[in-house]
Structure 1
Amino acid sequence: MSTKVCILDYGSGNTKSVFNLIESLLPEVSISNSISAIEEATHIVLPGVGAFGTSMEKIHQTIPMDFLMDSLFVKKKPFLGICVGMQVMATVGFEFEENKGLEWIDGEIVKLNSNGFPLPHVGWNSISIKKESKLFQSIEDKSDFYFVHSYAFKPINKDLIISTTTYGEEFCSAIELNNLFGVQFHPEKSHYAGKKLIENFIHLK
């Protein structure tokens, strides 16, 4: 079966940049929320730019969640959440107000304790790889990725954290639970390391 990537689009922006990167690696990629595209896909990506609460509202308005959940939790298709697309996997988010997340990974989205550094955290920063993951295959520890965020994922189970980054405090910059992967940074803006990470993701079985 050939690899097909479906990029979910809930109006959060940045989908085109993610599409362009994946298309440079793989011809079969679409931006779609259709049931058929989700069912035909072998891999699913949820990008994200913006606030947690607004993103959750748009996700429930635009994405057929029953079919997505079947793809991820029954058929076990690899899933990658990017930035807010990672954050919405949490139980709850506290950006502006408390909002329920997708509840796929137990944890909270809380404001970064930047210890005086300006927020949002914008620009290049390095990751510290905490455990072996296929997502980071052939990516060196301390590689730089591009970040834009003020909030971060605090999972209940710290063993799910596959990389951290420090900006005032150490925070979770990548997470993995079975077939679910999330990155706080933007691989589509992260040059070689970001391209390699996306390549690793689309080769997951």
Structure 2
Amino acid sequence: MVTIVDLGIGNIGSISKVLRYLGVEHEVVTGPDQLAVAEKIILPGVGSFSEGAKRLDETGFRAALLQAVQERGVPLLGICVGMQLLARTGFEGGECQGLGLIDGVVSKIDDMGGQLQIPHMGWNDVKLPSLPVFDAIPGLSCFYFVHSYAMLLNEEVEAAYAYYGQPVLAFVNKNNIYGVQFHPEKSQQAGLTFLRNFVEKC
């Protein structure tokens, strides 16, 4: 069973629709107690880091997610802002604290020295690492992005990058924790395969 966390900021319908298409049993949860029996967790998000961090605290999902992931070892996939919330700190909407599962900082792309138009919107190639979550996906594949902020890593973990005037973190993995800046649910066959791999192989 895959559990989709609804913080009220995610494209929940799109994720659920794709999982139904893949024949994956899943449920959408709005309360932290529902994570107690989760076997796989997806944390989607659109909008701002600060709003996501606020919702984590207001809903009680912050403590529940940390307990599930760190104590029970449940695989977690963060998507877009959901990936950014895995970081220690974010600066969208003011400095605030993420989940701290990845030692990283989320900053605006043009604050990192990039000079291309933001948001970064559209299809970009990503050079993929050799991991089970990317099985049956070509090593250089195209995924769909929509974002103005990105994570900068402060630790050595599995990572993959898109190039948008500069390297932009597209994927991160640390033990049972996975994050993608792109939208797999909008990335056609590569995205569908990625989601199936997360469900079946992580």
TM-score by length of 2: 0.93
Runs of 4+ in 1 over 6 A off after TM superposition: none
Does structure 1 residue 137 correspond to structure 2 residue 135? Answer: yes
Aligned-partner Cα distance in 1 for 2:68–2:147: 28
| Alpha-carbon distance between aligned partners in 2 of 1:163 and 1:45, rounded to the nearest angstrom | 19
Unpaired runs of at least 5, structure 1: none
For each residue in 1:66-88, what CA deviation from the matched residue of structure 2 results, as whole angstroms up to 9, or x when unmatched? 33222111111110000000001
Q: Please say if 1:78 is aligned against 2:75.
A: yes
1:163 is the counterpart of 2:160: yes
Show the counterpart of 1:39.
36
Alpha-carbon RMSD across the aligned residues, in angstroms, is 1.6
What's the CA shift for 1:35?
4.3
6, 22, 25: which is aligned to 1:9? 6
CA drift of 1:37 comes to 3.1
* Higher deviation after alignment, 41-50 or 29-38: 29-38
Change (3 A) 1:181 1:17: same
Alignment of 1:75-114 (within 5 A): 75-113=72-110
1:124 alignment partner, SS class: strand
3-state DSSP of counterpart to 2:201:
coil
Distance in 1 (CA, whole Å) between partners of 2:23 and 2:70 is 24
Match of 2:195 in 1: 198
- Secondary structure of the residue aligned to 1:143 is strand
What do the CA deviations read for 1:105-147 (whole angstroms, capped 9, x no partner)? 1110011137432100001111012x32221111112211000
Aligned counterparts of 1:68 and 1:23: Cα–Cα separation in 2: 24
Is 1:154 aligned with 2:126? no
Q: Which AA in structure 2 matches 1:150?
A: S
Letter in structure 2 aligned against 1:53: S
Contact 2:66 2:99 in 1 (8 A): no
Q: Percent identity, please.
A: 36
1:8–1:63 CA contact under 8 A, matched in 2: no
Distance 2:75 2:64 in 1: 14
2:9–2:47 Cα contact (<8 Å) kept: yes
Task: Kindly state the Cα deviation for residue 198 of structure 1 after the two structures are TM-superposed.
Answer: 0.2
Q: Which runs of 5+ in 2 are unaligned?
A: none
The one of 178, 181, 198 aligned to 2:178: 181
Aligned 8 A contact 1:161 1:172 in 2: no
Q: 1:57 aligns with which of 44, 54, 57?
A: 54
Relative to the length of structure 1, the TM-score reads 0.91
